[in-house]
Every structure is written in structure tokens, then in C-alpha cells.
Amino acid sequence: MNVVWKYLDKRAGAVAALKDFGSMRFIIDTTDQEIKDVYEKMGSVGGMRTDGMPHSRNLHALEDRMINVMEEIDILKERYRQAMEYMDWFLPAWEELSEDERYVLEAFYGEDNDYGSCAADMIADYFHIERASAYRKKNRAVDRLTVLLFGRP
């Protein structure tokens, strides 16, 4: 499935894509270590008991654990694939924005800020403009990102 289908409403999709950016970067940065950690959970084959009795009530506990680990690794790899697909789609548009547009969008929608917290005041102070102008600047940046991601409406 194409990453664009997740963001079907174009303007809301551009905002959602902005909000997902940090998560996708985190997934890409941490997946290798997570897969290694999951492999370590798999363990190894246990030793034989000399009395012939099984170690647990489930005779297939080792196989079940290995299957669960393989399924978890498949999920991690699929999550990583989706994050890479997202980045291949989002980064060219993000890099096409000006530094000022990126600053405005990060201030409003970045990981560190909740929308409306004090982003408009930060933007107004940074550009020496009124608060209403900061919101208009944000709207223009979102509109430009929307066109870069999805094309003309």
C-alpha cells in the first residue's frame, strides 16, 4: 500500500505527515537494535534432563518461542519498511521548503511543541511580526508542503 493513502485528505495529511516525521525517524534509528534484542530473547536449545522428563508442560515451548520471535521480527521489519517508504516520500518535499518554512512548521508541529502551546509567539518573536501574521505564515508553509507532497488540488 502506498504511503499516500494514509494521508488522503491533502491538507490534514500534510499536517499528519509532519507530526509523524519524528516517529518515523525514531523507527529507522532504533529498528536494528530492536531486532538484535528480539534475537537475544530467542535463546538457545535447552539441555536434556537425565530423568527423561520434559522441562515444561508444553513440549513445544521452544518452537513456540522461536515462532513468536520470528513474528515479532517480521513486524519490526514491516514497520521499518513503512518508515523508509514514508521518508522516501516526505523528505524530498521537506528539503524543498525554505529554512524559514521548516522553522515555522517545526515550531507548530514538531516533537517538542504541542499545537498552540506558544508556537505563534515564538514565530512572531523570531520574525518580528504580529501573532496573526505568524498564523498566516504557518498556513502558507502548510499549503506549500501540501502542494509539494500531493501536487495541486
Does residue 53 register a pLDDT over 90?
A: no
**Is 41 part of a structural domain of the chain?**
yes
Give mean pLDDT, residues 130-148: 94
45: pLDDT strictly greater than 90: no
The answer to the question of residue 144 being in a domain is: yes
Q: Write down the pLDDT at residue 72.
A: 92
99 within domain boundaries: yes
Domain that holds residue 109: 7-150
Residue 134 to residue 126: CA distance in whole angstroms: 10
Interval 62-120: pLDDT, tens? 788 888 889 999 999 999 999 999 999 999 999 999 999 999 999 988 876 655 568 88
In 10 A of CB 133, how many CB atoms? Answer: 14
Flag the least confident range among 41-55, 96-110, 129-143.
Answer: 41-55
CA distance 46 to 61: 11
- How many independent structural domains does the chain possess? 1
15 within domain boundaries: yes
Q: Is residue 2 domain-resident?
A: no
C-alpha cell at position 51 = 530423568
Q: Both ends of the chain: CA-CA distance in Å?
A: 22
Q: Identify whether 1 is part of a domain.
A: no
pLDDT band at 152; cut points 50, 70, 90: confident
Looking at every residue in the chain, the average pLDDT score rounds to 85
Tell me the pLDDT band of 48, cut-offs 50, 70 and 90.
low
